[in-house]
Structure 1
Amino acid sequence: MNFFSTENYVSTQELESLVGASGICLWQDTELFWQERIQKAVAADRKVDCTLYPNTQEELAAVIAWAVQNRCAVLPCGSGSKLDWGGLVKLDFPRENSLPVGLFKGDLGGSSDAAGLVAVSTSRLNRLVQHAVGDLTVTAEAGMKFADLQKILAGANQFLAIDPAYPQEATLGGIVAAADAGSLRHRYRGVRDMLLGISFVRSDGKISVAGGRVVKNVAGYDLMKLFTGAYGTLGMIGQVTFRVYPLPEASKTVVLAGETNALAQAAQILLSSALTPTAVDLLSPDLVAKLGLGKGKGLIVRFQSIAESVKEQSARLLQVAEKLGLQANICRDNDENQLWQRLPETVWNRANYSAIICKIGVRPSEAVKLLEEFPVQDALIHAGSGLGVLRFETATAETLLQIRRGCEAKGGFLTVLAASNEIKEQLDVWGYTGSAIALMQRIKQQFDPENLWSPHRFICGI
């Protein structure tokens, strides 16, 4: 098998010398599930020529250097659980600088103006590097799965305070790239606040390091923030260092349901009180019904601390609910665990591949009103931040734009994460028109002058 250089076919021995024969999977040999995930991430007129699986950071750097040398675009990925989030990857290199169609001989994908496109997976970079139990920090390779890391940390009575989508599949690098924090961000803040250090491969194939492995190390702090939520458009993460926390002694969840204004009042009282919940989530009526929590809108509040504190805080919230005429109950232990497991499974469910999943943000005071005013289906909004997720089994581009306008009127935004390629071709999935566009474009130019990292996946085609 051969692949194209700018002028002639060249033997794949060059790639095999970097990652070994087992580290190259051509498109025609790719498993169906991986093909489906990639096809939802790239434009319809493009296909990925192959997926490469480096075994070490050094191999990862060598692969990127090879891609740059051959002017081949790179789609960074881990397990692919969030590969379809954001804009569709497109190639639009000038004809005079481009490769022939397709990287590998016999590949008929792409347009005549497109260079090659390869997916580079960190799934084999999945090792624990260091767990400093006493310092409450952990360093691991970017391809380690979140669930696997949590098992390791649990052995030391610790945990990583992130609640991402697809926790069994999601990799640490993917969580950082998508800034996917989940419900626990109410207490522990976002991924940026958990991240202490990263190492990453630049567009020139060099390995760079930012931050460190101790909590007070602030070297490269802004650079880590830059990579968090960049969707693989600035470089490829090889290792990450997080701060971790002791596992809480006790946990209780209070479920409130009732009239809209009363729920809004309860959320406002809770958020302005001295209570310290770890999660405060507003749920749409459809989602409440699917979770078997009753009828109407819901507010679920989780307290995690020492047993006495959890008991006292739960009791105080029940008093607030009683005064406002809300229905309230405390989940039993098994029911609570099932609730917090079923909640993300329901919101992020992959069973319907045509489902549309959006990330939204509004002013926290407007969150309940959003559920009242717009045709949302499954909705989960973090009451403290106003960030949340909307899920539609079916929706038109016009419906999404209508809700986006509503979010913007409430001081927020709507970003389409997952949707069919047809829907994504009909609208701007990011919808960002703010003043930072020029700055982001300059940053992209600085980090990726050839526009080889996930081109067009981010805001304004970045």
Structure 2
Amino acid sequence: MKAIATQLAAIVSPESVLEWEDIDAMRQEHIQGAIASNIAPSCIVYPQTPAELAAVMAYTDSNNWRILVYGSGTKLSWGGLAKNIQVLVSTARLNRLIQHAVGDLTVTVEAGMKFADLQAVLAPTGQFLALDPTAPESATIGGIVATADTNSLRQRYGGVRDQLLGISFVRADGEIAKAGGRVVKNVAGYDLMKLFTGSYGTLGAIAQVTLRVYPLPPASGTVTLTGTAEAIAQATSKIRSSALTPTQADLLSSHLVTTIGIGQGLGLMVRFQSLSASVREQTARLVEMGQQLGLQSTTYSDADEADLWQQLQVQIRSPQPMQAVTCKIGVLPATAVATLLYLDRVAPESAIGTIHVGSGLGVIRFDNTSVKANTVLSMRTHCQNQGGYLSVLEAPAVFKQQLDVWGYRGNALDLMRRIKQQFDPKNVLSPQRFVGEI
């Protein structure tokens, strides 16, 4: 195994290769929670340029070494367990800002740039990237794209693929390929951006991306509504059919409502971001709507509002994620309330969940000290019966080995396997991490 590290050090530099024996125990445990193998990987390689990344990929391909590409590691354990990984390749040192076209509302960065660092670059120009990923302080842009990771902001701005304009990636054989461009209206080449979004590193290593950015909103305000499931369902339906334009709108399970201390029963958190007058008008209308339905309402602004949304993310994403089972779900928006009620029934006091009002996508988290695979499978069956799905994002490796992590029942699996064969014919990129053990 040391021979592999030595050979890769000759391609990059000795400082860019970290042998397994030199990795601290906590990081080793985190990595081992993402792979299925009795043998530890040889090393982690940190390319510092796209050319180095390409050279590393070409060399590993020529030796048929199985590799797992990641950024800072915040989502390393998401998805299935990658099988028999020999080399980990981190893009964390590919972190340069390539171009920020302020007037065109676009930005181009290398994959390893951290989300928080990019927002800090954009803020002085009055712009921001309209994504709200998990672990925003340490998540990298490449990792966000590879896992399609955004949360409540999709209510207003859509998902990651809606904001991705261009991509540069390294194929399994080390060749650099590009698609899209650096302008908002672009029709150059195939739409590989959507293909790579949410591909979990199974098709290639993302090296550089171009994203659209938006002006920072001048004002913000949030309203929380809590109460009976029937009243919350009515409020949700009214919001969807009204002229209100929330930036974020999330349904909360009753246990989550209690946990963050905003009331009793099911909850609804709605955020408006616009001109001050518009924010005041829309929050007032929502409060009035809640009163008519007999719901308890509270309005938040400034630091209190920021703390509320941060607390929601902290609770839904366990401080010790490997000690919990975190799932991504999708249901028809009209069935979201029923889904949260079912969650409360199958796992009372041991699970929390949130579902976005507009898309029906959401996250639920089970306390691993009590959850069993059958409980998660029961929740999956319910979601599928509601026209949706449930996939396990994070869980201890032993738990993931008890069930199909993805639970995919669609008809595109054969097509996905053929795409994988085209991009990675030797199956060396994150093997078995994706749907259908792709």
Name the TM tier (shorter chain). over 0.9
Q: Following superposition of structure 1 onto structure 2, how do residues 156-167 of structure 1 map, counting pairs within 5 Å?
A: 156-167=125-136
Unaligned runs of 5+ in 2: none
Query: Do structure 1's residue 382 and structure 2's residue 356 form an aligned pair?
Result: yes
Name which of 60, 64, 75 aligns with 1:71.
64
| Residues in 1 aligned to 2:189 and 2:45: alpha-carbon distance in whole angstroms | 29
**1:433 alignment partner AA:** R
Q: Following superposition of structure 1 onto structure 2, how do residues 303-314 of structure 1 map, counting pairs within 5 Å?
A: 303-314=272-283
| Residues in 2 aligned to 1:341 and 1:227: alpha-carbon distance in whole angstroms | 29
CA deviations on 1:316-353 (whole Å, 9 max, x unpaired) are: 11121111111112113221010111111221123353
Which contiguous aligned blocks of 4+ residues in structure 1 show a shift greater than 3 angstroms?
none
Name which of 384, 391, 415 aligns with 1:408.
384
- Alpha carbon RMSD of aligned pairs, Å? 1.3
Match of 2:299 in 1: 330
| Residues in 2 aligned to 1:34 and 1:157: alpha-carbon distance in whole angstroms | 37
Unaligned runs of 5+ in 1: 5-10, 92-115
Match of 1:239 in 2: 208
Match of 1:197 in 2: 166
Name which of 252, 260, 270 aligns with 1:291.
260
| Residues in 2 aligned to 1:232 and 1:389: alpha-carbon distance in whole angstroms | 22
Deviation at 1:46, TM superposition (A): 3.8
| Residues in 2 aligned to 1:2 and 1:280: alpha-carbon distance in whole angstroms | 51
Aligned to 1:165, what secondary structure does the other structure show?
coil
Length-normalised TM-score, structure 2: 0.96
Contact 2:164 2:210 in 1 (8 A): yes
Match of 1:96 in 2: none
CA deviations on 1:50-93 (whole Å, 9 max, x unpaired) are: 100001000000000010011101100110000000000114xx
Match of 1:80 in 2: 73
Query: Do structure 1's residue 422 and structure 2's residue 406 form an aligned pair?
Result: no
Contact 2:321 2:394 in 1 (8 A): no
CA deviations on 1:235-290 (whole Å, 9 max, x unpaired) are: 00000111000000000000000110110010011011111101110011121122
**1:448 alignment partner AA:** D
Contact 2:2 2:42 in 1 (8 A): no
Name which of 23, 26, 38 aligns with 1:45.
38
**1:3 alignment partner AA:** A
Q: 1:402 to 1:79 in 2, by over 3 A?
A: same
| Residues in 1 aligned to 2:112 and 2:189: alpha-carbon distance in whole angstroms | 22
Contact 1:38 1:48 in 2 (8 A): no
Deviation at 1:221, TM superposition (A): 5.2
Match of 1:437 in 2: 413
CA deviations on 1:334-379 (whole Å, 9 max, x unpaired) are: 2101011111122112335320100000110100011112325110
344-353 vs 375-384, which moves further: 344-353
Query: Do structure 1's residue 256 and structure 2's residue 225 form an aligned pair?
Result: yes
Q: Following superposition of structure 1 onto structure 2, how do residues 79-118 of structure 1 map, counting pairs within 5 Å?
A: 79-91=72-84, 117-118=86-87
Name which of 12, 25, 50 aligns with 1:19.
12
Name which of 319, 322, 326 aligns with 1:357.
326
Match of 1:218 in 2: 187
| Residues in 1 aligned to 2:302 and 2:233: alpha-carbon distance in whole angstroms | 27
| Residues in 1 aligned to 2:2 and 2:287: alpha-carbon distance in whole angstroms | 68
Name which of 110, 133, 137 aligns with 1:168.
137
Matched length: 431
Aligned to 2:261, what secondary structure does the other structure show?
coil
Contact 1:46 1:90 in 2 (8 A): no
